[in-house]
Amino acid sequence: MSTRASPESERRPVAPARAGPQPVSQCRATRSWIHAAAYYGWALLIGLVTCKLFLGLHAPNWPDLADATWGVVEGHPRSTAFQSRLLGPHAVAGLSALGWAPESALRRFHVAGILGLFLLLARLLHLRGVAPGSALRHLATFALAFLGLQFYWFHTWDTLDLLVFSVLAYGIFARKPVRFFLVLYPLALLNRESGLFVAVYIALEGLEFDAARRRVRLVAPWRLWSGLALLALGIAWTAVARSTLIVATPEVSTGAPAFALGNELHVWANLRNLLWANFRGLQAVHSVFVIGVFASFALRAGRFTDAQLKAFLLALALFANILVFGIVVETRVFFVLLPLLLFLWVDLEPADRTPRAPAPPAA
């Protein structure tokens, strides 16, 4: 029997295949959006609660905080070291030009910065492959440390430091190319001289560390020398800004020995407070926190990867800088360490992260 189709059936048009997403794909996409909205919603909630507590803690302090901010704008800083910290004060001045009073503009700046910080951290932790539940726990712990380290003074550059060093810490562990840090460097330096540590990291990128074998190898001399050159340029910029933009010599002084560029030396007083005086009161919590965190990381340093060891060395350099030039009883000086320590902790806990393809080496 013949199975050939009739001419009519051969000429019958064939219905085109139905286009469009399959129902399963639609459901997955919807669930993905819901999960993302819930994740960032919880991150925003943590930020809002942090802002509420932050504003309550500083309620009596806003007149002094506003005066310190406007002192930089007008060239009458409370300390010569403040005069090169331009980004935050001038951003507040810009908000004030829109019609808000100085104190109101300063509060809005900090609220926007803190909310932006928690959303930024949520995004960066997601990019690092951290599971949503673990990321939210890390954010809650970060908020607790942020509130626990509050002091009477909290300046615009403190908020921006947290944002800058969050991006820096992410860049270190994501193995971003040097151009990533070159873009970050001038913004960090306009905020505060702590931006010099971005140049320090660029110099460290010229080296490769093998913690297990205790070896250091020079792998990219141009990165090492570029970082050192940028460090020298940054120090020169800081000196010029502090000498040329200042209108009047500050009347406020701590009485500590002067060093250079408006910095004062506090190393012996800091060591005494951190290792002895703090333990006579509730400030002992701060000493235990700082010493305990660094000690716990130091015990694991022999198993660090190259990126982990560079981040830890950068945190140690920042800590040494705080001991020499900072005032440890002003616990806000430790804020700059929090993002580096957070991302180092996350990188040491791979169980919290979903598998991802390894990042390409920095160019």
356 three-class SS: coil
**Predicted pLDDT of residue 9:** 47
| Gyration radius from the chain CA atoms | 26
For residue 198, being part of any structural domain is answered with: yes
For residue 282, being part of any structural domain is answered with: yes
Q: How far apart are the first and last CA of the chain?
A: 71
Q: Which of 227, 220, 242 is nearest to 184 (CA)?
A: 227
**Predicted pLDDT of residue 279:** 92
Whether 201 and 224 have beta carbons less than 8 Å apart is answered as no
**Residue at token pair 């829109």:** 98
Number of domains observed in the structure of the chain: 1
Q: Which domain holds residue 92?
A: 33-352
For residue 5, being part of any structural domain is answered with: no
**Predicted pLDDT of residue 145:** 95
215 three-class SS: strand
Whether 170 and 346 have beta carbons less than 8 Å apart is answered as no
For residue 265, being part of any structural domain is answered with: yes
**Predicted pLDDT of residue 250:** 62
**Predicted pLDDT of residue 357:** 46
For residue 270, being part of any structural domain is answered with: yes
For residue 14, being part of any structural domain is answered with: no
**Predicted pLDDT of residue 356:** 52
For residue 67, being part of any structural domain is answered with: yes
Give the residue ranges of the chain where pLDDT is below 70.
1-25, 248-262, 351-363
For residue 17, being part of any structural domain is answered with: no
